[in-house]
């Protein structure tokens, strides 16, 4: 059991999970606002040996070095790689501090967001229609860039409705190809697809000027990545082409765009994360608790159902 566990900011745990934290630490302190700076993070951690944080704060080397009692840092947000993490995992490792994160907890909501927006565009439900007459997803040429968990879920959902799926990924996916999805080099995928989805890890930027030129006019781009996945200036230039549309759930997913970008008639964003649903918070909570158990006893991850 940890001596003291501190959540330095809101970490999106459901109430029963907050209560369950007392099974893992003798003292639990939960802060309900985001700390203003590194000094405030250090103050909040104090003599705690376990810390929880979300994606809204960063624990870099400077913070970790000033918290000598730390044994565990739990990331209550997606951890895709050390490079993209908001915790200096390499430095924590040097200090003997274990860092565990979670992933794959909000993907179902993202798939529903995609289906909602895509069918609206294809049929003209509440927005301009992509073609001169309503069309179905059946037969639609779809390209998925990044066939991880969320990318594969989007591809599976659209394939179920009859879309013609191609994908580009760092490695070939035999199981996807066995399901009828075709691997294509990025340039070919962009040229051949009517609708493209970028489903990439944070800080992975694959689309620049040449790639948007390959994508061309009359096309649709969805970004469901945490970050932009592309050069934002190149995206804005592409959106000047006729018949182009861009969709993302959060504003951050567009990257550093110009003022007025989201007022463009061919840009659609609700400004909220599609993955932040009631069910996602339950699954997030289960995974955070499983990581605490894993950190204490070294067991394999076992979800505590809430």
Instruction: State pLDDT tens for residues 152-186.
Output: 999 999 999 999 999 999 999 999 999 999 999 99
Residue 65 has a CB neighbour count (10 Å cut-off) of 14
| Of the candidates 296, 288, 302, the residue with the CA atom closest to the CA atom of residue 52 | 288
Average pLDDT over residues 137-152: 96
Average pLDDT of 73-94?
91
Tokens found for residue 291: 């990581």
Beta bridge partners of 267: 246
Q: Give the pair of three-digit tokens for residue 170.
A: 């760092």
Residue 301 DSSP one-character state: P
For 213-268, what is each residue's pLDDT tens digit? 999 999 999 999 888 999 999 999 999 999 999 999 999 999 999 999 999 999 99
Average pLDDT on 61-80 reads 94
| Cα 266 to Cα 46, 123, 198, distances in angstroms | 49, 15, 17
DSSP element (H, E) containing 175: helix 174-178
Domains of the chain: 2-103+278-297 (3.40.50.720), 107-268 (3.40.50.720)
Q: What are phi and psi of 25, to 5 degrees?
A: -150, 145
Please say if the pLDDT value at position 299 is more than 70.
Answer: no
3-51 pLDDT per residue, tens: 999 999 999 999 999 999 999 999 999 999 999 999 999 999 999 999 9
pTM of the model: 0.84
Look-up of token digits 């489903």: 199
Alpha carbons within 13 angstroms on the beta-carbon side of residue 182 total 14
**Residue entry with tokens 């930027």:** 205
Rounded distance, CA 159 to CA 179, Å? Answer: 9
């Amino acid at each position: 059991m940890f001596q003291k566990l501190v959540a330095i900011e809101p970490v999106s745990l459901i109430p029963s999970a907050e209560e369950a934290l007392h099974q893992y630490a003798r003292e639990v302190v939960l802060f309900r606002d985001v700390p203003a700076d590194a000094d405030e993070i250090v103050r909040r951690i104090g003599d705690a040996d376990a810390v929880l944080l979300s994606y809204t704060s960063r624990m870099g080397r400077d913070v970790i070095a000033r918290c000598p009692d730390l044994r565990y840092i739990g990331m209550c947000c997606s951890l895709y790689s050390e490079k993209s993490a908001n915790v200096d995992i390499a430095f924590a490792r040097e200090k003997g501090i274990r860092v565990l994160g979670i992933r794959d907890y909000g993907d179902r909501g993202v798939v529903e967001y995609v289906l909602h927006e895509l069918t609206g565009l294809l049929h003209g439900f509440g927005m301009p229609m992509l073609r001169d007459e309503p069309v179905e997803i059946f037969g639609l040429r779809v390209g998925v860039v990044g066939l991880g968990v969320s990318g594969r879920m989007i591809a599976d959902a659209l394939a179920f409705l009859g879309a013609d799926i191609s994908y580009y990924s760092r490695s070939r996916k035999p199981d996807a190809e066995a399901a009828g999805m075709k691997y294509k080099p990025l340039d070919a995928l962009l040229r051949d697809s009517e609708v493209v989805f970028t489903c990439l890890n944070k800080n992975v930027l694959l689309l620049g000027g040449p790639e948007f030129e390959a994508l061309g006019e009359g096309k649709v781009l969805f970004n469901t990545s945490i970050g932009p996945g592309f050069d934002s200036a190149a995206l804005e230039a592409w959106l000047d082409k006729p018949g182009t549309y861009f969709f993302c759930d959060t504003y951050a997913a567009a990257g550093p765009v110009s003022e007025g970008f989201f007022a463009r008639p061919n840009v659609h964003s609700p400004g909220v994360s599609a993955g932040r649903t009631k069910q996602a918070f339950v699954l997030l909570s289960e995974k955070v608790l499983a990581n605490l158990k894993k950190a204490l006893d070294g067991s394999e991850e076992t979800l505590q159902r809430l």
